[in-house]
């Protein structure tokens, strides 16, 4: 199980709110994702990333607890974040492991900001997401 999280600091030019984006994988399968404007105005990039990491952690912990019902235990679950200042208490407890990821491999960007067609298609394909018509 892994998670990726990102934020666009003050991306909303009117209210100056940031957008959180995160996704979670079980093996190679994308099983959960979210993109949401943050409820509060972050005072820094670090704070916006921290809020996004918190949302990602919440989802991973929910998944972890459900997997425990099937006697599947996961610890040191990696969360990839492209901001070195974002960290959680769960890292100290060795339940989660927040790791730095370079911007070129930050798949959560698809949930937080406009991308070029090439980058959008590349990430979409990596996440194994496909357009389904009616």
- 132 domain residue, yes or no: no
Integer-rounded Cα Rg, in Å, for the chain is 15
- 14 domain residue, yes or no: yes
- 134 domain residue, yes or no: no
pTM listed for this prediction = 0.73
Domain that holds residue 74: 2-126
Whole-number Cα distances in Å, 30 to 21, 44, 47, 76:
14, 29, 26, 19
- 79 domain residue, yes or no: yes
Question: What secondary structure, in 3-state letters, does 37-71 show?
Answer: ECCCCCCCHHHHHHHHHHHHHHHHHHHHHHHHCCC
Question: CATH code at 78?
Answer: 3.30.420
- Give the pair of three-digit tokens for residue 37: 């404007």
pLDDT tens-place string over residues 1-35 = 999 999 999 999 999 999 999 999 999 899 999 99
Tell me if residue 102 falls in helix, strand or coil: coil
pLDDT tens-place string over residues 46-76 = 889 889 988 999 999 999 999 999 999 988 8
- Give the pair of three-digit tokens for residue 15: 């209210």
- 131 domain residue, yes or no: no
**Domain total in the chain:** 1
- 133 domain residue, yes or no: no
């Amino acid at each position: 199980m892994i998670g990726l999280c990102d934020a666009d600091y003050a991306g909303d030019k009117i209210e100056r709110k940031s957008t959180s984006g995160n996704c979670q994988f079980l093996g190679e399968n994308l099983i959960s994702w979210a993109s949401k404007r943050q409820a509060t105005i972050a005072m820094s990039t670090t704070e916006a990333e921290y809020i996004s990491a918190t949302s990602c952690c919440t989802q991973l912990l929910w998944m972890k607890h459900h997997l425990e019902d099937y006697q599947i235990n996961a610890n040191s679950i990696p969360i990839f974040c492209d901001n070195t200042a974002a960290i959680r208490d769960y890292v100290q407890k060795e339940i989660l492991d927040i790791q730095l990821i370079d911007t070129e491999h930050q798949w959560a960007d698809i949930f937080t900001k406009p991308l070029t067609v090439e980058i959008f298609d590349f990430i979409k394909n990596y996440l194994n997401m496909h357009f389904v018509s009616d």
